[in-house]
Amino acid sequence: MHLPASTGRARRAILLGLTLAAGCGAPDLGREFTLHGVRIRVDTDAPFAQREEFPARVEDVIAISLAYWGGAWDDLRGRELTFSTGPYVACAGAARASGCFDGAIRVATWDPGVGTVDCVEQTVLVHEIGHAILGDATHRDARWMELEPVADALAGRVGFGPDGVTSCTVHVALWRHPLDEP
Ligand SMILES: [Zn+2]
């Protein structure tokens, strides 16, 4: 669903008001934090992204991805990473992208197969870090197809769905070449 910017701002203001009134509970859309010079923007109400440990989980997934793709935090310094509600993110040339790298990284917290995902490991963040390090928009590098070690490193973690704690199921195929994504 597309909302005009003014409606989005109004909704955010209402959510902020609710947060202030209730003290807690309402998702804090647009919240930001920084990891090693990377600005992380949380523009999603997915339950896992509201957790206190979310920044640490994001940091860990990025660190494991960087090690796999042969990059370092310095290669990402000054970039912006946005987690969005989805289902899709804006991406030039792709109508239905789950993720995008065009200088900034955007990943949806939604997947066509499962709906809203339950953990950061389930997003296409691993894939987009690959683009941030390699470029390789046409996925020629053999490593796009050899992601099992990353899946193993991220396996067995806890997820957070609408009903609370659940499992975090990683689908390595999602990281290979998300549908319709450059
Ligand atoms: Zn790609």
Q: How far is the CA of 99 from the centre of ligand 1 (A)?
A: 8
Q: How far is the CA of 177 from the centre of ligand 1 (A)?
A: 6
d(CA 21, ligand 1 centre) in Å: 42
What are the structural domain ranges in the chain? 28-167
Ligand 1 centroid, distance to 136 Cα (angstroms):
8
Task: Examine residue 178 and say whether the peptide bond preceding it is cis (omega within 30 degrees of 0).
Answer: no
| Phi, psi values for residue 89, rounded to 5° | -110, 155
Q: Which pLDDT tens digits describe the chain residue by residue (182 residues)? A: 232 333 444 444 444 444 343 345 566 688 999 999 999 999 999 999 999 999 999 999 999 999 999 999 999 999 999 999 988 999 988 888 999 999 999 999 998 888 999 999 999 999 999 999 999 998 999 999 999 999 999 999 999 999 999 999 998 888 887 655 55
The structure's pTM equals 0.83
**138 C-alpha to center of ligand 1: Å?**
7
Q: How far is the CA of 180 from the centre of ligand 1 (A)?
A: 9
Q: 50 to each of 59, 67, 81, 127, how far by Cα in Å?
A: 15, 26, 16, 22
